[in-house]
Amino acid sequence: MSKIPLILKREYLTRVKKKSFIIMTILGPLFFAAMVIIPGWVASMSDSDEKTVAVIDHSGLYIDKINDTEIIKFEYIDPASEDNLRNDFAGSGYYAFLIISDNLLVNSNAIHLYSDVGITIDVRDQIINSLRGYLRSEKLGSYEMDGLDQIIDDINKVNINLTTIKLGDDGSENESSTEMAMIVSLVFALLTYMFVFIYGAQVMQGVMEEKTNRIIEVIVSSVKPFELMMGKILGIALVALTQVALWIVLTGIILSGVKMAFSSESDLASRMTGIEMATGNADATEAIAEQSNSFNYDKVMSNMESMNPVGTLILFLLYFLGGYMLYASLYAAIGAAVDNNTDTQQFMLPVTIPIILALYVAMAAFRNPHSDMVFWFSMIPFTSPIVMMARVPFDVPLWEIVLSLALLVAGFIFTTWFAGRVYRVGILIYGKKVTYKELWKWFRYSGK
Amino acid sequence: MPFLQANNIVKKFADHLALNNVSVEVPENSIFGLLGPNGAGKTTLIRIINQITGPDEGEILLNGKKLSPQHIEQIGYLPEERGLYKKMKVGEQALYLAQLKGMSRHDALKKLKYWFEKFEIQPWWDKKVEELSKGMQQKVQFIVTILHSPSLLIFDEPFSGFDPINANLLKDEILNLRAEGATVIFSTHNMSSVEELCDHITLINNGKSILSGEVPEVRRRFSENLAQIEFSGDSDKVSAALEGSYQIISNKPVGNYQTLLVKMPPETDINQLLRLLIDQCHIHSCQEVLPSMNDVFINVVNQNKTIS
């Protein structure tokens, strides 16, 4: 009878009962919010890919009214070419195209942005801010100076609801949310990154504890070293999953809390909308707040639905487990090879580098989720869990996901096999200065 | 048929030969001493018996059957390098280790209760291991080793870290286990405990078995034909009588008597010695002096060194 369940149970229970686990579970979502905001903000400042957006203005009112930035250019093209653009968008070389179909002061919904990829927040903000500024001054100019309060009040009612629409291959249109895609992508890439790191390190610490405590010899006289290693890896995986589950539940509670705040307290709502719309206008009037109030929460929810939350979550679990298994066994082998913490450094580096590299590539993936580099990194098992999770919200073809998952499974079977052999020898060897050559010897020796 | 039989075990590590054709026979229901200097290969042999590692050549038979994973539950092993999870509670940990040996939770709990009471350590049940002293931890480890009533027990330096009182407690338990039918393999550098406990020994040096047999027989084998006599009377007359082939090693007063240590010439026995002395002094006691296991150990290992 396999003793893995028994070992798993101990590994799991001793960890979830720890104070640090409980604190982390409660503080995690808060800490995590900071982690989401800061890299996202940094990423938004460092986009260097030049994008050209075609503008088709049927109203003829807004020619050259949207300002170019260093990297976002707007090109005004003949409204007659709209059909060409729609049919052969990929061949046009544009990043996106903007269609203004009516006077925006009359109909603020008469503006749409189309692209075959998710649209970044910079492009969206640039359009909104330019147009809003222009419209405001337009409106201001049309008033006499008396009754200014009322005028400003009136001006502040001007609002633009830019709907970004994802163009399917067949020309079908899907409402998409750029921020949501980015946030989802970032959240999952970071979650995977953190969990692989934190829980991988826990596996290593656990193995080292057994080795330095010398309890290992008692245990391996009862169970096979491989069973012990797998029990530990799986037990800690369950701890991680418990944490994720609790975080999801907590986030759910926070979300419903936010929803209640939205319906009851417009002050908070307007502040939140203010941030979301990035207007930078501190004294945004209640008019906007009211207008945004009603739609914002539902819209977030509907956007979330368009992200396919269940599918994304399942993929996250698969990639997280795969990535964790891949690295955890390597961490276990390191823990088995060394006698104390300081010796881990030399072996940690080669394991850590691909994880960190993956995070950097994931950052690039928010901007350009379908570039060659990002594609390859989302295939290599050592980086795919993080990079692919960053890509998933930007509609990755199914075959790429299947292939990358298959490679990941092959990857972790390989590392587990490799690590198991090093582990078996390593845990019983003390007081030896371990080198890579030594590890290789152990690996070969175990094969006999 | 021996209970445990190791036949021609060979174990190579990357750069040295840990066991070179070692054979060991452990009779059933006895205490067997596995001796040898540091690095001789004892721990390797013990690990092979515990199936922690496998031999490169040779085989181990337990009760006549080739050693296999289902034997793990019949073996209790107290390694020399032993530890416990520091952050885990004593009782919880003992339960876990017992279950790893295949006991049900219920049985383990019942037996642990018995042993904790016997060793008077019930108050430790809910303490964390790190709160216990080293000796206390060893007690817990000893209990865990014998809890599943194994038929073969392997103790590697069981007394290290114990005070004399607890060491005695342990000795009594080991003798009890034999009385109840267990076979014990006992590895130590403490030769006086070997004399006290072991029925048989095997001495390993440099990966080879260089001496084995029953303890009294082994000691006799290395006998230097020494005799110790307690007498009172004239020491000079005694010395004169032994002049010639007998060699007086020491002659010192102990209390009211003299204690004389004599090396007898080969082929002579204590009767002949007594015949020479009987008219010269009052003899109060007389005994053959066998070398201690300590002497045998040093002697054999040194000899082995000069040969190789």
A296: part of which helix (H) or strand (E)?
Answer: helix A286-306
The pLDDT of residue A287 is above 60: no
Spatial CA neighbour of A86 closest among A4, A168, A11: A168
Which range of A52-61, A368-377, A433-442, B104-113 scores highest in mean pLDDT? It is: B104-113
Please report, for chain B, how many H helices and E strands are present, in that order.
Answer: 10, 14
Average pLDDT for residues A89-113, to the nearest whole number? 83
Same domain, A36 and A55: no
Residue B148 contacts A, CB cutoff 8 Å: no
Which of B52, B75, B83 is nearest residue A214 as measured by Cβ atoms? B83
B82·A214 Cβ contact <8 A: yes
Q: In this predicted structure, what is the pLDDT of residue A232?
A: 93
Which residue, B226, B301, B232, B237, is CA-closest to B265?
B226
Residue A251 has pLDDT above 90, yes or no: no
Interface test with B, best of A6, A9, A13, A215 (most B CBs within 10 A): A215
> If you average pLDDT over every residue of chain A, what do you get?
77
pLDDT band at A247 (very low <50, low <70, confident <90, very high): confident
Q: Work out the minimum CA distance from A3 to partner chain B, whole angstroms.
A: 7
Contact: A215, B85; criterion CB under 8 Å: yes
pLDDT at A294 over 70: no
Range with the largest mean pLDDT of A165-169, A297-301, B54-58: B54-58
* Interface confidence (ipTM) of the complex: 0.81
Shared-domain flag, residues A409 and A380: yes
**What residues of A are in contact with residue B101 (Cβ under 8 Å)?**
222
Q: Is the pLDDT of residue A286 over 90?
A: no
Domain residues for the domain of A394 are: 4-40+181-258+308-446
> Residues 10-49, chain A: which have Cβ within 8 Å of B?
10, 14
Query: Are B83 and A215 a contacting pair at CB < 8 A?
Result: yes
Pair (A238, A91) in one structural domain = no
Tell me the percentage of chain A whose pLDDT exceeds 70: 75
> Is-contact B148 B142, C-beta < 8 A?
no
pLDDT tens-digit series, residues A345-380: 888 888 889 988 988 888 888 778 888 888 899 899
pLDDT classification of A1: cutoffs 50, 70, 90: low
Multiple choice CATH, B4-220, 3.40.50.970, 3.40.47.10, 3.40.190.10, 3.40.50.300: 3.40.50.300
Which chain B residues are closer than 8 Å to A1 by Cβ? 102
Alpha-carbon distance of A405 to A401, in angstroms, equals: 6
Instruction: Answer yes or no: do A150 and A199 share one domain.
Output: no
Specify the pLDDT at position B201.
93
Beta partners for residue B156, in sequence order: B187
Q: Is the pLDDT of residue A429 over 90?
A: no
pLDDT of residue A285: 40
The pLDDT value recorded for residue A164 is: 66
The SS3 assignment for B28 reads coil
- Mark whether A121 and A226 lie in a shared domain: no
Q: Are residues A147 and A204 in the same domain?
A: no
A64 shares a domain with A13: no
**pLDDT bracket for residue A12 (50, 70, 90):** very high
pLDDT of A15 above 60:
yes
Q: Look at residue A31 and tell me if it is in a domain.
A: yes
- Residue-wise DSSP of A2-36: --HHHHHHHHHHHHHTSHHHHHHHHHHHHHHHHHH
Q: Which residues neighbour A246 within 8 Å (Cβ) at sequence distance 6 or greater?
A: A25
- Clarify whether residues A232 and A331 are in a common domain: yes
Residues carrying CATH 3.40.50.300, chain B: 4-220
pLDDT means per 10 residues, chain B with 308 residues, are 90 84 92 89 90 88 88 90 88 93 92 92 91 88 92 91 88 93 91 90 90 90 88 86 85 88 86 86 89 89 78
Q: How far is CA A440 from CA A351, A421, A436, B291, in A?
A: 16, 10, 6, 48
Q: What is the pLDDT of residues B233-243, one digit of tens each?
A: 888 888 888 88
Cβ of A445 within 8 Å of Cβ of B14? The answer is yes
**A246 against A49, higher pLDDT:** A246
Indicate whether A139 and A64 sit together in one domain.
yes
Q: Where in chain B is the domain with CATH 3.30.70.60?
A: 224-289
Residue A406 banded pLDDT, cuts 50, 70, 90: very high
Q: How many domains does chain A fold into?
A: 2
Percent of chain A residues past pLDDT 90, beyond the cut: 14
Under an 8 A CB cutoff, do A218 and B86 touch? Answer: no
CATH code of domain B224-289 = 3.30.70.60
Q: Is residue A167 part of a domain?
A: no
Q: Within this chain, do residues A24 and A55 fall inside the same structural domain, yes or no?
A: no
Structure tokens at A434: 């371990």
Chain B contact for A432 (CB, 8 A cutoff): no
